[in-house]
Every structure is written in C-alpha cells, then in structure tokens.
Amino acid sequence: MTLRFLSGATALLTAWTVLAAELPPIRADEAVERPRVQSTGDFLVIEAPGENNAIDTPRGTTASRLSVSGRVYRWTPSDDTSRVTGGAALFDAVQSPDESFLLLGERVGAADGPNSSRLIGFNLFNKKLTSGITLPERKLGSLRFLPSGTTLLAVEKAQPQLARPDRLLLIDLAAGKTVAESEALDRPVAAAETNGKKCWFTLEGANQFHSLGLREFGASPKTAQTLVKGGKLLLSPDGSTLAIYGSGQLEIYDVGAEPPRLLRAMPLPKGFTPDWGLALSEKLDELLLVESGRNAWLVSGKSLRPLAEKSGQAGCYDFSDRRLLLTLAADETIGLYQLPAATAPSMTVSPRRLKPFNRNDNFRLFNRSGKEPQAILVDHRGNVSILEIRPRRWKKMPVYQIP
C-alpha cells in the first residue's frame, strides 16, 4: 500500500510539474493594467522666437508674469458628451485678482474617466492665448486664484482607478506644476475658498467646515460645526468674512478670529438651494444667492428679496457703480440690474445674437474695470469675448474663437 501511494504521488507531482512548465510566468506589473487617460481635445504649441505674448501688457501684472513668449498656441477643447447641447468639457473658469488674466479649466479624457486636466490662459490686455498647462491624471474641480495672482487653490476629485483621493492642491502657474497637496479627504469637496493665508472648505453631506494654513497645507485641518450640510462658500473681498449657505440656511462667520466667530445666521426660503453666490459688499453685509435655473435672492443684513425667477449659472458685480450682470435662462440672456433698488433688469441682452453670432450657452461672466463698462464672457464652447456695455446695443469683441 505504501509503495502504491508513493507511486501515485510521484505521478501527480510529475504531471503538475509538466503543466506548470507549459504556463508562462505571471508578471506582477501585468496582473492589473493601469488605466490610461484617453486623449481628447488638442493643445498645440508652436515655437515662434519673435512672438511677444506680453506685448501691450503692464509689467508686474498677472498677465505679464504668466504669458510665455516665443510661442504660438492653438487650442481645440475636449467635447462635453454629457451635455445635450454639446460644448467644451469645461469645469471652471477664473479671472486673476487684477483682472488681467483669464484661466479656463478643461477636463481631458472619456466621460467615465480616468481624467487629466488642462489649464488654458488668456492675456486680457492683448487678447491672446498665452499659456497652457496639463496636469496628468489630476481630475480638478473648482479653481480659486490666490491674491498673488500666480498660484491656484484647486479641488482634486477622487479617481480610485488611479489611486487618487479627494484632496486640495496648490498649483504654481508660473512653474506649471502642483507644489502642495492636502491630506487625503474622506469625502468629495463641496466648496473651497482662500484669502492667500488660509483656505476654507466643506465636504459633501457633512455639517462642518474646515480650515488650513497654506504654509501647513499637508497638516490636518481645523474643523468647526455648521447647520449647513455640504454648504457652498463665499469669501468677502477683503478675505475676513465667510458665508456658508445651502438648503434652508445661511451663516456668516468672522474668519479673522480663531476659532471662526458666527456673526449672523438666517433661514432661507423653503425649497431654495443656492449653488453659487456673489459678494455685493466688502464684509458680506449684502450678497446675491442663486440656484442655477431657478431663483436668485438678494440678501441685505437679515432681509431677503427675490431678484429673478429663472437665473443662469454666472454673474458679476461692479462695486464702483453697483452694476450687477446676471445670466438668465430665457434665451441665454444677460440682465443688467442697477442696485440697490432694482427689482427687475433695466435691460437684457442675448450675447449669442451679437456678432459674431452663435448658439452657445453662457458659462462664466467676469467684471472688467475701465473707462467703459465691460465684462468678460466665456461660453460653453470655450469662446472668450469682451462685452462692451452700451445704453442701446452692446458690442461683442472676440478674445479667442474656437476653431
């Protein structure tokens, strides 16, 4: 019996050895293939030694520091396949604090990911496309300029397939790279703001807001409680006051104090869930809260009054003459409101009906200071235009037209 058992075991071992010899070895790096970001859109850089991208640009401005000369740029954005009306895969657009430079954020890759991000820069003095940065395998959300004008606070969205968590980033636009990362966060970021010394952020579905010193960006954030779940944020122009708002509630904090001190709180109208807002005073005594596609409300102290029933997702405010521009859903128009008394727009204009004509939706709107009232318009296709606000008919002047 013993001899038979050993003989069978030997045969089995021999058969397994032969079978194993016929199988190729499994390499660790081939076990799980790393997903690749699909190439979408196009950003072309052409060497042109004589090209001065800082021409007609005052020295010391953000545009002069970020416009790279000796090159010509051509940009064709990625398509946004999630929108029925089409357009570019833009996730945000921001204007530098000195109003000299415009930055568009474009998502690169398939709609279901994974994604990279591209940051496209325009010099608003000479109306030229003057820079472009690609951040590989970074799926960015909202962007905010620091007061320096050359650094961005950015929200990074999780990409589990690339082992990328939700977090915040600091991006040096002059160097073209990420210079600091926050610790990994356990939820997606709902909103983030910065005054250049600190940043504040909220997380989706959470009743807290958090703060980080920018010099200790990788440290654990400080946390305070709020009644607003997953609230949006609005920072005052002087960087000392923070509004947290969401479904049913608005809270205003003095963030110059440590810990932040609640200045006032008030309920918002039932069913009103604002997703963006504008500061209308230096300390947020007045502000505009908007639910895209629905209502816009003016907040003054503890009083509220409706301004528009069907608002868009963009607007801007000129503090010098209290002129508010608000995008409206009807025919993609822009309404001009003269505050504080206005209850209806004094005039409405549809940019798509101004030459050069198009059918594109409004994406972002920024104020532009100067002798003549102007605004910067970015549409959903990625076209950038200057709107000259005139008493009768506005004028649209292209900065960059998508090929």
> What is residue 11's predicted lDDT score, i.e. its pLDDT?
40
pLDDT greater than 90 at residue 56: yes
Task: Please report the sign of the dihedral spanned by the C-alpha atoms of residue 136, residue 139, residue 144, residue 146.
Answer: negative
Task: Please report the sign of the dihedral spanned by the C-alpha atoms of residue 64, residue 68, residue 74, residue 76.
Answer: negative
| pLDDT tens-digit series, residues 338-367 | 999 888 999 999 999 999 888 889 999 999
Domains of the chain: 39-140 (no CATH), 310-403 (2.40.10)
Are the CB atoms for 75 and 37 separated by under 8 Å? no
pTM: 0.90
Mean pLDDT score of the chain, rounded to an integer? 92
| pLDDT tens-digit series, residues 118-147 | 999 999 999 999 999 999 999 999 999 999
> What is residue 133's predicted lDDT score, i.e. its pLDDT?
97
pLDDT greater than 90 at residue 24: no
pLDDT greater than 50 at residue 25: yes
Core vs surface per residue 361-384: b (16+ CB within 10 A) or e: bbbbbbbbeeeebbbbbbbbbbbb
- Report the side by side order of strands in the sheet with 249-254: 232-235, 241-246, 249-254, 261-267
| Distance separating alpha carbons of residues 3 and 32, to the nearest angstrom | 45
| pLDDT tens-digit series, residues 261-280 | 999 999 999 999 999 999 99
Higher pLDDT among residues 274 and 21, named by residue: 274
Higher pLDDT among residues 392 and 206, named by residue: 206
Query: pLDDT over 70 for what percent of the chain?
Result: 92
- The band of 16, judged by pLDDT with boundaries at 50, 70 and 90, is very low
| pLDDT tens-digit series, residues 248-259 | 999 999 999 889
